[in-house]
Amino acid sequence: MKLLSLLLFSMLLLILRSFEHTSAACHVDDHAGLLAFKSGITHDPSGMLSSWKPGTDCCSWGGISCLDKIRVNTIRLSGNPDKPNGYLTGSISPSLVKVQNLDGIYFFDLNITGRFPDVLFRLPNLKFIYIENNKLSGPLPSDIGKMTQLYDLSLSGNQFTGLIPSSIAELTQLGQLKLGNNLLTGPIPLGISKLAQLSFLSLKNNKLSGTIPDFFSSLTNLRILELSHNKFSGKIPNSIASLAPNLAYLELGHNALTGTIPSFLGKFKALDTLDLSWNNFTETVPKSFGNLTKIFNLDLSHNSLGDPFPVMNVKGIESLDLSYNKFHLEKILNWVTSSPIIYSLKLAKCGIKMNLNDWKPKETYFYDYIDLSYNEISGSPVWLMNKTDYLVGFWASGNKLKFDLGSLKVAGTLKNLELSRNLAYGKVPKSVSGLESLNLSYNHLCGQLPSTKFPASAFVGNDCLCGAPLPPCKVKGE
Ligand SMILES: *[C@@H]1O[C@H](CO)[C@@H](O)[C@H](O)[C@H]1NC(C)=O
Ligand SMILES: *[C@@H]1O[C@H](CO)[C@@H](O)[C@H](O)[C@H]1NC(C)=O
Ligand SMILES: *[C@@H]1O[C@H](CO)[C@@H](O)[C@H](O)[C@H]1NC(C)=O
Ligand SMILES: *[C@@H]1O[C@H](CO)[C@@H](O)[C@H](O)[C@H]1NC(C)=O
Ligand SMILES: *[C@@H]1O[C@H](CO)[C@@H](O)[C@H](O)[C@H]1NC(C)=O
C-alpha cells in the first residue's frame, strides 16, 4: 500500500514537473499573445505554425526565440514564394500586444493582409520591423514617427499607398529604411536628412516624384541607396558626393533624370553597383570613372550618352550594360574582354564593328547573358556559344553574323535566342524547340522547320524555310 501511494505520488510529481516545463517555461502573456496571433491566421497550408500548441512551451515553437528562456523577443516567419503552399494568410492580431518584450518581427514572403498594424505602436521594445513581401495596404500612419526606438524599418514589397509621412524624420535611430516595391506617391520627405545613422535607404519601385533632394551631406553612413523605378526628375544632386567613402550601391535607374553624370562618382572608392539606366543623361561618361577599379555592376543603358567612353581600370567587371546610347565603341572593350568573372554583357547598339572571330575573351564560362544586337559584327558566334555552359540569353539581331545555324550549340540552360537580320544559313535545329523565345527572321535559312511553339514572324524573311507556321514544304516531284 505504502509502495503504491509512493508510486502515485512520484507520478503526480512527474506530471506536475512536465507541466511546469511546458506551459510554465514561457511567459503566460507571451503564450496567450502568440496563440491570439495564430488565431488571426486563416490559412496555413504548409503548417508553419503547427508547433504552436496550447499548453506547450512557446519558446520552442517554430519561428520563436526567447530571452532567458522565458520572454519571447523575436518572431521570424518566412514563406517560400517558389512553392504553391509556401505562404501564410491572415492579419496581425491586436492581441500580439501581450508579447511585450518583442524586439523583432520578421515576416518574409507570407500573405499578411490589412492596414499597417496599430499594435506595433504598443510594443515599446520593438526595434526591428521587417514585414517584407506581404499584402499590407492603405496609407502609412502619419504618426509613424512615434516609434522612435526603431533601428530597422522594412515594409518593402507590400501595397502601401499615399505619401511617405513626414514624421518619419523622428525615427533618428534608423539604420535601415526600406519602403521599396509599394505604391507610394509624392516627394521624398526632406526630414529623411535627419536620419544620420541610415546605412540602407530603399524607396525603389514606387511612384515617387519630384527631384532627388540635395540633402545627402548628413547621410554619410549610407552604403545602399536605391531610388530606381520611380518618376524622379532633375539632376543628380551635388551632395551625393559626400557619400563617396562608404556608398556601395547607387541605383537611380528607370526615372526621368537629366543632365550629365557627375564626375565625382569616380571618387566612390567602395562602389560595387551603379545603375543609371533608363534616364536621360547626356554628354559623356566622366573620365574619372577610370578610378572605379572595384565596380562589379555598371548599367548606363538607355540614356543619351556619347563618345568617348573612358578607359576603365577595373579588374573584374561582372555585369555591364551600355546598350542604347550614342556610343561608337568600334570593338568590345579590353577591360570587358579581360574580365575573369563576367556573366552579363550587354552592348546593343554600341557601334561595334568587329569580327567576332577576333574576340578572345579571357573567360566565357560564367556567361548567362550576351546582348550584341544592332551592331556591325561579322564572323560567327558558334565558337562562343560552344564555350558557354550556362548561357540563358543570346541576343545578336541586326548584325552581319555568317554561320551554319545547324552547328550552333543550344545549351540546356538557354531560354532566349534572337538572331534575326543576320546572314545565318543552314537548317533550323530541333534543339530550339525548348526555348522560351526565338527569332531567326531575315537570314538565309532553308529546309523544313522542326515543330515549335513560335509564330511565323520568328521565321519569315529566310531563303527557303518551310513547314508550320510557314507554308508547307513542297513535296518532291510536285
Ligand atoms: C492572400 O490573402 C488574400 C486575402 O485573404 C486571399 O484572397 C488570397 O487568396 C491569398 N493568397 C494566397 C496565395 O493564399
Ligand atoms: C533627352 O534629352 C535630349 C537632349 O536634351 C532630348 O532631345 C530628348 O528628347 C530627351 N529624351 C527623352 C526621352 O526625354
Ligand atoms: C584618379 O584618382 C587619382 C588619385 O586620387 C587622381 O589623381 C586622378 O586624377 C584620378 N583620375 C581621374 C581620371 O579622375
Ligand atoms: C565544341 O566544343 C567541343 C569540345 O570542346 C568540340 O569537340 C567541338 O568540336 C566544338 N564544336 C564546335 C561546333 O565548335
Ligand atoms: C522577329 O524580329 C522581327 C524583326 O527583326 C520582328 O518584326 C518580329 O516581330 C519578331 N518576331 C518575334 C516572334 O519576336
Rounded distance from Cα 236 to ligand 3 centre (Å): 21
φ, ψ for residue 34, nearest 5 deg: -70, -35
A 10 A CB-CB count for 469 gives: 15
Rounded distance from Cα 258 to ligand 2 centre (Å): 8
Q: Is the pLDDT of residue 261 over 50?
A: yes
A 10 A CB-CB count for 45 gives: 12
H helix intervals, 332-381: 334-337
List of residues 6+ apart from 5 with CB closer than 8 A:
none
Ligand 1 pocket check for 113: Cβ under 6 Å: yes
Residue-wise pLDDT for 45-55, tens only, equals 999 999 999 99
φ, ψ for residue 315, nearest 5 deg: -80, -40
Please report the pLDDT score of residue 409 as a whole number. Answer: 87
Q: Is the pLDDT of residue 17 over 70?
A: no
Residues having CB within 6 Å of any atom of ligand 3: 266, 287-288, 290-291
Query: What CA–CA distance (Å, rounded) separates 250 from 277?
Result: 11
Which ligand approaches the C-alpha of residue 233 most closely?
A: 2
Which ligand approaches the C-alpha of residue 417 most closely?
A: 5
Please report the pLDDT score of residue 25 as a whole number. Answer: 85
Confidence of residue 68 (pLDDT cuts 50, 70, 90): confident
Please report the pLDDT score of residue 411 as a whole number. Answer: 83
* Domain around 390: 315-478
Please report the pLDDT score of residue 478 as a whole number. Answer: 47
Q: Is the pLDDT of residue 19 over 70?
A: no
Query: What CA–CA distance (Å, rounded) separates 100 from 27?
Result: 10
355: nearest Cα among 384, 370, 376 = 376
Q: Is the pLDDT of residue 2 over 80?
A: no
Ligand 5 pocket check for 453: Cβ under 6 Å: no
The mean pLDDT of the chain is 93
In a domain, 408, yes or no: yes
Ligand 2 pocket check for 280: Cβ under 6 Å: yes
Please report the pLDDT score of residue 18 as a whole number. Answer: 47
Please report the pLDDT score of residue 344 as a whole number. Answer: 97
64: nearest Cα among 79, 51, 80, 45 = 51
Q: Write out the three cell numbers for 199.
A: 546605412
Q: Is the pLDDT of residue 152 over 60?
A: yes
In a domain, 16, yes or no: no
Angle made by CA atoms 410, 411, 414, in degrees to the nearest 5: 90
107: nearest Cα among 136, 84, 127, 78 = 78
Please report the pLDDT score of residue 307 as a whole number. Answer: 94
Confidence of residue 248 (pLDDT cuts 50, 70, 90): very high
Residue-wise pLDDT for 327-385, tens only, equals 999 999 999 999 999 999 999 999 999 999 999 999 898 999 999 999 999 999 999 99
Atom 6 in ligand 2: residue holding the nearest Cα: 280
Q: Write out the three cell numbers for 211.
A: 527631384
Please report the pLDDT score of residue 410 as a whole number. Answer: 87
Q: What is the CATH number of the domain that holds 470?
A: 3.80.10.10
Mean pLDDT computed over 130-143:
97
Please report the pLDDT score of residue 22 as a whole number. Answer: 45
In a domain, 439, yes or no: yes
Mean pLDDT computed over 239-262:
97
Query: What CA–CA distance (Å, rounded) separates 28 from 56?
Result: 11
Angle made by CA atoms 69, 72, 73, in degrees to the nearest 5: 110
Q: Is the pLDDT of residue 290 over 90?
A: yes
Rounded distance from Cα 233 to ligand 2 centre (Å): 13
Rounded to 10 degrees, what is the CA torsion of 215, 216, 218, 223? 150
Q: 416: which DSSP letter?
A: E
In a domain, 54, yes or no: no
Element (H, E) at 293: none
Please report the pLDDT score of residue 476 as a whole number. Answer: 63
Place of cell 533624370: 257
Atom 5 in ligand 2: residue holding the nearest Cα: 282
Spatial contact of 224 and 246, defined as CB atoms under 8 Å apart: no
Rounded distance from Cα 291 to ligand 3 centre (Å): 6
Ligand 5 pocket check for 455: Cβ under 6 Å: yes
Spatial contact of 212 and 233, defined as CB atoms under 8 Å apart: no
Mean pLDDT computed over 126-134:
97
Confidence of residue 20 (pLDDT cuts 50, 70, 90): very low
Element (H, E) at 18: helix 2-22
Place of cell 499573445: 33
Q: Is the pLDDT of residue 1 over 70?
A: no
Residue-wise pLDDT for 192-210, tens only, equals 999 999 999 999 999 999 9
Residue-wise pLDDT for 157-181, tens only, equals 999 999 999 999 999 999 999 999 9
Please report the pLDDT score of residue 159 as a whole number. Answer: 98
Element (H, E) at 69: none
A 10 A CB-CB count for 196 gives: 12
Q: Any idea how long the chain is? A: 478
In a domain, 95, yes or no: no
How many domains is the chain partitioned into structurally? 1
Residue-wise pLDDT for 299-325, tens only, equals 999 999 999 999 999 988 999 999 999
Confidence of residue 10 (pLDDT cuts 50, 70, 90): low
In a domain, 153, yes or no: no
Residue-wise pLDDT for 91-106, tens only, equals 999 999 999 999 999 9
